[in-house]
């Protein structure tokens, strides 16, 4: 996610998601359920997650072993592991040039999701619609 640090510098904060990182998995969930900056911020603040779902916060009983359906499963919050803080990159270029997993997703200042596979970052809706193909 593009954001600003305490000094007013543009930075990128990101987290790791273990399951379903491909565009039809994580990408589709981000595009459908994470278009609000506050919700994206809440997701990033969880740190590393096991699985992405449509809701960030549980409304009832929820744990790593017995997650509430439709709620993100986070390593620290839900399994009690040591926090794995969001990664911070100094720029969008640094983020996309870094050691992201197979796919990297970025929520821009304009409220748009970009995705990068092996090539350049492209708007996520183009990939989900089949207009653009990425590896």
Record the pTM: 0.94
Mean pLDDT, the chain, rounded, equals: 94
- Distance in angstroms (rounded) separating the CA atoms of residues 75 and 38: 21
Q: Where are the domains of the chain?
A: 2-129
User: What confidence tens digit (pLDDT) does each residue in 32-74 have?
Assistant: 999 999 999 999 999 999 999 999 999 999 999 999 999 999 9
- Sequence-separated contacts (24+) of 32-38 with Cβ below 8 Å: 34/107, 34/113, 35/111, 37/1, 37/107, 37/111
């Amino acid at each position: 996610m593009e954001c600003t640090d305490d000094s007013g510098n543009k930075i990128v904060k990101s987290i790791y998601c273990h399951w379903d990182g491909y565009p039809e998995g994580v990408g589709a969930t981000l595009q459908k359920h994470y278009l609000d900056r506050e919700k994206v911020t809440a997701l990033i603040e969880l740190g590393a997650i096991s699985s992405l779902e449509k809701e960030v916060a549980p409304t009832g009983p929820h744990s790593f072993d017995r997650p509430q359906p439709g709620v993100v499963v986070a390593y620290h919050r839900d399994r009690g592991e040591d926090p794995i803080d969001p990664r911070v990159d100094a720029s969008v270029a640094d983020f996309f040039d870094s050691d992201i997993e197979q796919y990297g997703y970025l929520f821009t200042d304009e409220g748009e999701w970009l995705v990068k596979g092996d090539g350049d970052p492209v708007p996520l809706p183009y990939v989900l619609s089949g207009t653009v193909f990425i590896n």
